[in-house]
Amino acid sequence: MKLISFLLIIIGSLLSQEANNQHQNLFVARAQHLLTITSSNKDTLFRAYDLYVSPGGDIYIADQVEDCIKIFNQNGKLIKKFGKTGSKPGEFNTIGEIAISENYIAISDYISSRLQIFSKDFKHIRTIYAQGIVFDLAFDSDEFLWVGAFTGKKNKTLFKYSKESNKIIQIIPLKHSSGDQFKDIFFLAISKDGYVVIAYRVLNRIEVWDKSGKFIRDFQVPGLKSEADSKKISTGLFSSTRVPDGIIFGFCSVNDSGDIFLIGGSYSENPARDLYVMNILGEFHARITMPEKVWKFYMQDKTNIYVVSGKELNFVKKYLLR
């Protein structure tokens, strides 16, 4: 477990590495800044590990400073806080990923198999211990919870859970799952019309499935390497371990129209700033260069994007893509 945790921390830090790869813009959009939420007092101090934006514009931030969910209104005013550090229901041992549907909120612990399901008013429903360390999660349009978890087993990294219990009702046999501790890490996004999108962190591969677990297609982003370079760790306990020397994608999201948005990693011309836009068919639409490096983001619709930025992940900003 300690080895897996160490390796996941290494791969997370690779987002900041830079390398050059020439790729021509097919479309240049201007990102107009609309809103900034940052630490202005002790209540709004945060390290935003994940975020979600409701249809009404409320902004949910998974804050690793206080291990809680902080909810801001569309004007950036703090309106609610929930959770604290701990191991009881409603407490988090370093908060991690979040997923929100019409009726449920799922929150995981960071580098852990533990995740909790709550009602929208934060009443604890149940705790799930996943098959491995949880690295992403999402609800589909039927409110089934999908969980990406590293197990070290080929084709056993994406799980679909029952709505009524902790039972796994489906294990999705991803096409590019190999059991490798790095290559199996992916980003998970599900569109409102039921497309399940998988984007691998160190592979230039996007897989599309439907919410019944049927494979539809896979494709690549043109102009990027097919796989991240690797290097050997030559000191200490991990001297024989090869680790990625960069990442292909830094994050993935989908909007209401089913368009796929991916932040390019180490091999993009502008690492952590190039936003690649593709449709569900795998057709490349655009590369948009953001004004700053982006850690995570949420596409509210076709043009409004909320991003987590700053070296300490202490800024959440809204941009209009024009």
> Which secondary structure element, helix H or strand E, spans residue 277, and what is its range?
strand 274-278
Give the per-residue pLDDT at 18: 37
pLDDT tens for 143-172 read: 999 999 999 999 999 999 999 999 999 999
- pLDDT band with cut points at 50, 70 and 90 for residue 237: low
State yes or no: pLDDT of 4 exceeds 70.
no
The strands making up 48-53's β-sheet, listed across from edge to edge, are 48-53, 59-63, 68-72, 78-82
Instruction: Say yes or no to pLDDT of 26 above 50.
Output: no
State the greatest distance between any 2 C-alpha atoms of the chain, in Å, as a whole number: 51
Contact indicator for 79, 95 with CB cutoff of 8 Å:
no
The helix/strand/coil state of 9 is: helix
- Name the band, by pLDDT with cuts 50, 70 and 90, for residue 14: very low
The answer to whether the Cα torsion of 139, 144, 146, 147 is positive or negative is: positive
Closest CA to 233 of 243, 225, 224: 243
> Residues 84-92: what's their mean pLDDT?
97
pLDDT band at residue 239 under the 50/70/90 scheme: low
The pTM assigned to this predicted structure is: 0.89
45: phi then psi, degrees, rounded to nearest 5: -60, 130
- 3-class DSSP state of 14: helix
Q: Quick: pLDDT tens for 174-214.
A: 999 999 999 999 999 999 999 999 999 999 999 999 999 99
Domains parsed from the chain with CATH numbers: 2-321 (2.120.10.30)
